[in-house]
Chains A and B, each alone.
Chain A
């Protein structure tokens, strides 16, 4: 009657063992962390057997300490810049029609608008027609093609705006550029595992563990990305060496111990760059193509003509990203940067060059700093609370249900192990409310067992013999267990979807805790009870 098939037993125990193996690294947190770090750094990783999983539960900022920033990119600013760049073209096409539309004059427009007053409002239609000819196709949301600009008219004023599809495309570009710039800057600070994510349409979430204050992070992100092309005077390994009057020492980005002596006054700045694209040089090596504005092209052409064979430095935010040798005079206003990069780097560099400084201003909506000591205090307090609460529950269960209570306790210990195993497997983040979720799970996980044990007690009064009572107990308690846990799981899921930051951490541990506790109650305690029953074959049963 009371039996579990062999393959099921194997499956249940195997699940437990696998879960516990995945949880294991968390028991040796700092050891495994060092191991993982050296592995990432490409070093010979030591101190942890490589055949074991090395995934760890990430600690949230509230536990590890660090800075958290939520910024909003002012996307609309880019529309204005973009549309204003249309003015020369618009002016040119309208001038050609001067005979019919009369004199034209640019007016002050609202945000993201280009307004032109037309001498002869009667010819507005042909003016609009002319401007529309400038439109380029973009892919719209529905997948079809649409124009990138929208032309309309009010009275004698012609209004040019970006189309919705073009705005969306622009938004995506702006956000990608901003993320790239911010990522590079945060990386520069040399902190580990920063999180930089786009959130919603125009927001960027930045989390940097271990950073002393959100202010530091703001300083880092807030600095303008300054790109300059400078004359190289020499190189040195001494960061404190004197550069000479009118020169400066700038560190190399690739080689931290290498410093360039540069003329302070730049030849050209990034403001005069209009485009940069990843490309390949004649030898097929990854490179970056760039294009200057007219004034930039003139300056750069003059300079390169005079300095063939000499190196010049491309400096971004006070670091030399490359110092190529001028091969030939670059008078066409475009050039190519070759360096020691692969395709990924050339793409990245071109993005940076294109972007230069943040494309639009960034406003900080939310900032949080947690000191590492406070985080450590929270971990310590959480640990103690977990252990005491855990012990209390274990004792209470053993006192209430005797042998069966012990089974439930073993299952509870496995349960906690499984939660950590799952957390490590999916790389979830443990937060302070997450610890509370685990403690709550400890308390509630026994519920399923309690339901079963109470049911067995009841069935013992009526059923024929202990084996039947146990069987009925599991069978009849099941619907209550399933219904009760599904409802709790539903609320945990809603929390996960709707919640922010730490609350999400709570939802994760609560949700996983429900899954593991149902598993351990239905399968693990059952298998223990069955094994015990087969071994003891009791005639009477006390639960």
Chain B
């Protein structure tokens, strides 16, 4: 007896209500953009500069006390947040303190860190500081640039690769799905105000990889079925391809999610944001490869005659201009 997440033979019509799906995606994309523009992202020090101090003590964290202790130091914007994690010991209380980049300084002056630590020791004796990180505005500016560049390069490279391996319509479909996934991920980070740092960029690029992985598998089947069923309507071919690969899509998403959820729950608070981004990306990526990528492909139409060897290759370039 086998565990079957998807019935042996499925004939779901994925394009019956494509307008609704595209509509939902469009609304979510718009919401994400609006959220990012109005609420902004909760940039970590990697991108904004400043200092974070992780404080650990055996007594409960009183954020008001901490704030009162740090206020007299006049360091500008300070945010204090308590961190919770199931892996903590019973008497382990952790707070994350973030201090904005100081005017006219690259990395934070050491005496400021010492003063902060002394002030906190005043309110919570026995407090320790397992990590102190400080990034100057110069480096953070460069990090944000190279991160954005990395995402753009990744998308471009993938666009070119799929264009070469498939057809330009496929490339547009895949990249449409990708951009959709990235925007939704950034949107959810903005809406929930989860810390957005360098690791999240890594997560975004992983989402790029994962979402593509899914899309490419579906497209590969589409290409195969286009060769096999030359007379079938494009909608039918797409539906058939998605149905045929549905079991695999679900299986892979489930195994990946199993591993990620375990990391999310047990992996500690340091990488939780990172893992959250990937879980979200897997969900959105799976959805988008079925609905966004394929719908785009359906709208764009596609070359039907794959049997002739590439004497039509020149047309691909002409089509791009057209």
Question: Is A bound to B?
Answer: yes
Query: CB-nearest residue of chain B relative to A451?
Result: B248
Task: Name the A residues within 8 Å of B322 (CB-CB).
Answer: none
18 contacts between A and B (CB under 8 A): A72-B138, A364-B136, A365-B107, A371-B131, A378-B268, A385-B263, A389-B259, A389-B260, A390-B259, A392-B259, A432-B270, A440-B256, A443-B257, A483-B165, A488-B212, A490-B161, A491-B158, A491-B208
A487-B212, A498-B146 as given contacts; A454 in contact with B154, CB under 8 Å: no
Please judge, given known A-B contacts A371-B131, A436-B274, A499-B202, whether A443 and B267 are in contact too, CB under 8 Å.
no
Contact of A371 with B248 in the complex, beta carbons under 8 Å: no
Report A540 CB to chain B, min CB distance, Å: 14
Q: Are A487 and B257 interface neighbours, CB within 8 A?
A: no
Main secondary structure of the interface of B (DSSP, over half): helix
A488 CB contact (under 8 Å) in B108, B143, B210 = B210
When A374-B54, A444-B210 are in contact, do A491 and B205 touch as well, CB less than 8 Å?
A: yes
> Does any Cβ of A come within 8 Å of B318's Cβ?
no
Chain A residues lying within 8 Å of B147, measured Cβ to Cβ, are: 498
For residue A476, which residue of chain B has the nearest CB? Answer: B224
A364 touches B107 (CB 8 A): yes
Distance (Å) between the CB of A159 and the closest chain B CB? 30
Output the nearest chain A residue to B86 by Cβ-Cβ distance: A381
Interface, chain A (partner B; CB < 8 A):
62, 70, 72, 213-215, 218, 363-371, 373-374, 377-378, 380-382, 384-386, 388-390, 392-393, 396-397, 399-402, 432-433, 435-436, 439-440, 442-444, 446-447, 450-451, 454, 457-458, 476, 479-480, 483-488, 490-492, 494-495, 498-503, 506-507, 510, 542
User: CA of A386 to CA of B266 in the docked complex: distance in angstroms?
Assistant: 9
Contacts A374-B130, A402-B2, A458-B244 given; does A490 touch B268 at CB 8 Å = no
What is the bound-complex CA distance between A70 and B134, given in angstroms?
10
A365 & B138 in contact (Cβ 8 Å cutoff): yes
Contact of B106 among A218, A363, A386, A503 (CB under 8 A): A363
Q: Quick check: which of B60-68, B213-221, B309-317 contacts chain A, the rest being far away? A: B213-221
Cα of A363 to Cα of B106 in the assembled complex, Å: 8
Give every chain A residue within 8 A of B263 (Cβ-Cβ): 382, 385-386, 389, 436, 439
How would you classify the secondary structure of chain A's contact residues: helix, strand, loop or mixed? helix
**B259 A443 Cβ-Cβ under 8 A:** yes
Whether B132 lies near A214 (C-beta < 8 A) is: yes
Beyond A366-B107, A392-B258, A396-B258, is A483–B216 a contact (Cβ under 8 Å)?
yes
Q: A378-B270, A480-B220, A495-B154 are in contact. List 6 more A-B contacts (CB 8 A).
A: A368-B131, A384-B266, A432-B271, A433-B202, A451-B248, A488-B210
Q: Which residues of A contact B259 (CB under 8 A)?
A: 389-390, 392-393, 439-440, 442-443
Which of A369, A381, A439, A484 is within 8 Å of B212, CB to CB?
A484
Q: Which of A72, A442, A490, A503 makes the CB contact (< 8 A) with B201? A: A503
Docked Cα-Cα span, A502 to B200, in Å, equals 11
B133-A369 in contact (CB<8A) = yes
User: Contacts A385-B267, A392-B262, A479-B220 known; A399 to B198 CB distance under 8 Å?
Assistant: no
Cβ contact within 8 Å between A494 and B154: yes
User: Which residue of chain A is the closest to B146 with respect to CB atoms?
Assistant: A498
> Does any Cβ of A come within 8 Å of B139's Cβ?
yes
Identify B209's interface contact among A213, A366, A488, CB under 8 A: A488
B271 touches A371 (CB 8 A): no
State A378–B259 Cα separation when bound (angstroms).
17
Given known pairs A388-B266, A389-B262, A494-B150, the reply for A446 and B217 (CB within 8 Å) is: no
Contacts of A502 in B (CB 8 A): 198-199
Q: Report B123 CB to chain A, min CB distance, Å.
A: 20
In the complex, are the beta carbons of B128 and A371 less than 8 A apart?
yes
Q: Of all chain A residues, which has the CB nearest B113? A: A215
Instruction: Kindly state the separation between the CA atoms of A62 and B131 in the bound complex, as whole angstroms.
Output: 9
Task: Tell me whether A440 and B278 are in contact (CB under 8 A).
Answer: yes
Specify which of A373, A483, A491 is in contact with B154 (CB 8 Å cutoff).
Answer: A491
Contact A365 B220 (CB under 8 A): no
- In the complex, the chain A residue whose C-beta lies closest to that of B166 is A483
Which residues of chain A come closer than 8 Å to B149, judged between CB atoms? 498
Kindly report which residue of chain A lies nearest to residue B54, judged by CB atoms: A374
A381 near B205 with CB under 8 A, answer no
Task: State whether the Cβ of B129 lies closer than 8 Å to any Cβ in chain A.
Answer: yes
Point out which of B130, B139, B201 has the most chain A C-beta atoms below 10 A from its C-beta: B130
Chain B residues 51 to 65 lying within 8 A of chain A, measured CB to CB, are 54
List, in ascending order, chain A residues with CB within 8 A of B20's CB.
none
Asked, given contacts A371-B131, A444-B256, A480-B221, whether A499 binds B150 with beta carbons under 8 Å apart, the answer is yes
Q: Which residues of A contact B108 (CB under 8 A)?
A: 367
CB–CB B255/A495 < 8 A:
no
- Nearest-neighbour CB distance to chain A for B304, whole angstroms, equals 19
Instruction: Return chain B residues, CB-CB under 8 Å to A397.
Output: 255
> What mask results when residues 1 to 37 of chain B are scored 1 for a CB within 8 Å of chain A, else 0?
0111100000000000000000000000000000000
